[in-house]
Amino acid sequence: MKYISRAVWILSAVSLFTDTASEMLYPVMPIYLKTIGFSVVLIGVLEGIAEATAGLSKGYFGKLSDTSGRRVPFVQMGYALSALSKPMMAVFTFPLWIFFARTMDRFGKGIRTGARDALLSDEATPETKGKVFGFHRSMDTLGAVIGPGLALIYLYFYPEDYRTLFFIALIPGLLAIISSLRLKEKNVHKDKPKVRTGFFSFLKYWKQSPAVYRKVVAGLLVFTLFNSSDVFLLLQAKQAGLNDTMVIGVYIFYNLVYALFAFPMGILADSVGLKAIFIAGLLVFSAVYFGMAVNTNLYVFFGLFFLYGVYASATEGISKAWISNITGKKDTATAIGTFSGLQSICTMLASSLTGFVWFKFGAATAFVLTATMTLIVAAYFFTVPKPVNGVAEL
């Protein structure tokens, strides 16, 4: 564990607390939204707009972090906004307010993502990127086990009292803010000239980036375009007959698998290659979505969510480790922020598209479409060449 530095531990703890707060609400979010009058289509639009907001801000603030030479202020501000947004969703229930609060949460994510991932990258070598990002994802996702677990216990004693959970979620959010204050800026460039950074200036990086970066990110974006919010998986489980408790339970199970596998997957990726593990994850994802399209057995859902956890552990942290290994150190936040920005726009389209296809043609069609496109993307990644000129092997 010598490659897990103090900064990585702190960032991982902050992510754990934040995810505890967020994931306490995530599995009940679609249920809560439906109780206050949101349709499936409106849920899809809400998630899409929220992710698009996060995406555009990820690109901008990633670029701003690189040009300013600072990381920590972006991390601290981003986590603070996300923590404060949680109780806001329970203060009022009319749609515009819900959209505002949810967007504020995602805006906080946008501010912190590029800077945080650049910090993680700076704490690793090309040979340990998988381990460092995998460890962070394990800790982050552990919060997604604790959060829903707390929600499950609360709802056991207070069934359908969803609004109170949004206020309770403020507690781990505040712990995240306090933990983030322990971060210290290591490489502040006091003499770095001030550069005006336009909101969309990060898009220029696309033309300036290495060719392999553009090829990798293009494949990731096509996959994202057909990979909608996990909300739809939970809705499918709910419609198949799982009650609220079981929906939360299966989500906890998925995140537990994710948390347990993320670090080992990172270690494995450093040994056999980031690209190989990522492609394997896509194949597992495709199998899960094909299964979701045809399954009606309540117990099989647990098997599918187990595989879904394996998929997430093989792709989420691995993709960022991969990107950080094929870009220059001075552009890490911009590279990850640009990818995340474009990814979130695709996520907006994906969630809206899935909501529409589900509404018009049914859940099975939506899942089969996603699974088929994922197989095509997996085949595409086999064409990505190995890096040259000293960049770590993928």
Distances (CA, A) of 51 to 137, 233, 236, 322, 346: 19, 17, 21, 22, 9
- For the chain, give the mean pLDDT: 83
* pLDDT, position 388: 46
* pLDDT, position 392: 39
Residue 253 confidence class, pLDDT cut points 50, 70, 90: confident
Question: Which uninterrupted H or E stretch holds 58?
Answer: helix 40-68
How far is 61 from 81, CA to CA, in rounded Å?
Answer: 14
The answer for residues whose C-beta is within 8 angstroms of residue 113's C-beta and 6 or more apart is: 54, 58, 61, 62, 78, 336, 337, 340
37-41, 162-166, 180-184, range with the lowest pLDDT: 37-41
Output DSSP code: residue 201.
Answer: G
Domains of the chain: 6-182+203-381 (1.20.1250.20)
Which pLDDT tens digit goes with each residue over 255-298? 899 999 998 998 898 888 888 999 999 999 999 999 988 887 77
Residue 77 confidence class, pLDDT cut points 50, 70, 90: very high
How far is 51 from 344, CA to CA, in rounded Å?
Answer: 5
